[in-house]
Amino acid sequence: MAWPLPAEPPLNASPERTEEYLREMQEVLAARMGDEAGRLAREAVVAYADAMTAAVGDPAVFDAAEVAWRGFITQEVGSYVAGIHLNGAMVAFFRTPGLDGIIDDVAEAWLTVVNEGAVTYQATATNRIVQASASTWSDVRSKTVTALSEGLSNEELKESIEAVTGYSEYRAATIGRTETMQAYNAGDLAGAKGLGEYGPHEKVWIAALDARTRVEHAEADGQTVGINEMFVVMGEQIERPGEGSAANVVNCRCVMEFLYPGDARPDGSVVPETPEVSLD
């Protein structure tokens, strides 16, 4: 059964409120994915144990669990991340200065582009999530088979099942938190770039500065580049937060701020009327 799509984003809200919104969306998706992964893993483990004959269970129950997980990701999680992607795009649109000056034809074209972008992103994200969680199900299978073949006591078996399902829940929740931020940032940038001449000239990396922040992401805070240029973070060239290697992506909570002509950059300089061209 599907759960509600993401709440509407806080348009023109403070950075603190935006961070709060994203944290809420992260926890919704993390909890739902964690609960479902734990449920499927628990059912598979119990079914395998119940069907054991001569210390051999039916491994097909794990295949069935993985198939059910893929369906859950494709149908429910896919819709959710697509909604977050659209929310990010809407934030970029409604934070555009001179919004009243954007003609209807441009707004309609923009909406078509971001809707198509969300559909494309949904397909990409669901494939990525299924691949990222594939190792979870192989681990559930191997840990269960090993535990049951060792002739554990009922109490030890219970602890083993809890460990296996707990791992599944934790892994799925981590993916959910990461995917929330990826979807939002991808949509935010797509929405900004889709505005064309009405859109921002530059983008700024904004890190969530606290004890959990990667040192490299804290160092990237305030990095400013052209809207079509790349940030350089942890030695990687990436278009937005949520891209790059796992070291840059997993549990990243960074976002972007967009700058328009006349806006002040973090270093105090001002964005010019004509976008600056890099000579690199």
For the stretch 193-248, pLDDT in tens is: 999 999 999 999 999 988 899 999 999 999 999 999 999 999 999 999 999 999 99
**Cα separation of 12 and 229, whole Å?**
25
Regarding whether 90 and 154 lie in a shared domain, the answer is yes
Confidence of residue 55 (pLDDT cuts 50, 70, 90): low
Closest CA to 121 of 66, 68, 185: 185
Rank 128-132, 147-151, 153-157 by mean pLDDT and report only the highest. Answer: 128-132
Percentage of the residues of the chain whose pLDDT score is greater than 90: 63
Q: What is the pLDDT of residue 111?
A: 94
pLDDT at 279 over 70: no
Regarding whether 92 and 142 lie in a shared domain, the answer is yes
**Cα separation of 237 and 266, whole Å?**
20
Is residue 9 in some structural domain?
A: no
* Tally of domains within the chain: 2
The residue segments making up the domain with residue 67 are 15-198
Between 17 and 265, residue with greater pLDDT: 265
Average pLDDT rounded to a whole number, residues 254-278: 89
* Helix (H) / strand (E) containing 50: helix 15-50
Regarding whether 204 and 172 lie in a shared domain, the answer is no
Residue whose pair of structure tokens reads 């972007």 in the numeric block:
256
Regarding whether 32 and 90 lie in a shared domain, the answer is yes
Residue-wise pLDDT tens digits, 98-135: 888 888 898 999 999 999 999 999 999 999 999 988 88
Regarding whether 151 and 82 lie in a shared domain, the answer is yes
pLDDT at 2 over 70: no
Burial level of 205, CB count in 10 A (0-12/13-18/19+)?
buried
pLDDT at 261 over 80: yes
Regarding whether 52 and 168 lie in a shared domain, the answer is yes
Confidence of residue 1 (pLDDT cuts 50, 70, 90): very low
Q: What is the pLDDT of residue 276?
A: 66
Regarding whether 100 and 181 lie in a shared domain, the answer is yes
Average pLDDT rounded to a whole number, residues 245-264: 95
pLDDT at 56 over 60: no
Regarding whether 213 and 241 lie in a shared domain, the answer is yes
Between 57 and 213, residue with greater pLDDT: 213
pLDDT at 152 over 90: no
Regarding whether 243 and 254 lie in a shared domain, the answer is yes
Average pLDDT rounded to a whole number, residues 165-173: 90
Long-range contacts from 137-140, C-beta under 8 angstroms, 24+ separation: 137/62, 137/65, 137/66, 137/69, 139/164, 139/167, 140/41, 140/44, 140/45, 140/62, 140/65, 140/164, 140/165, 140/167, 140/168
Between 159 and 262, residue with greater pLDDT: 262
pLDDT at 61 over 80: yes
Residue where a domain terminates, one of 144, 170, 198: 198
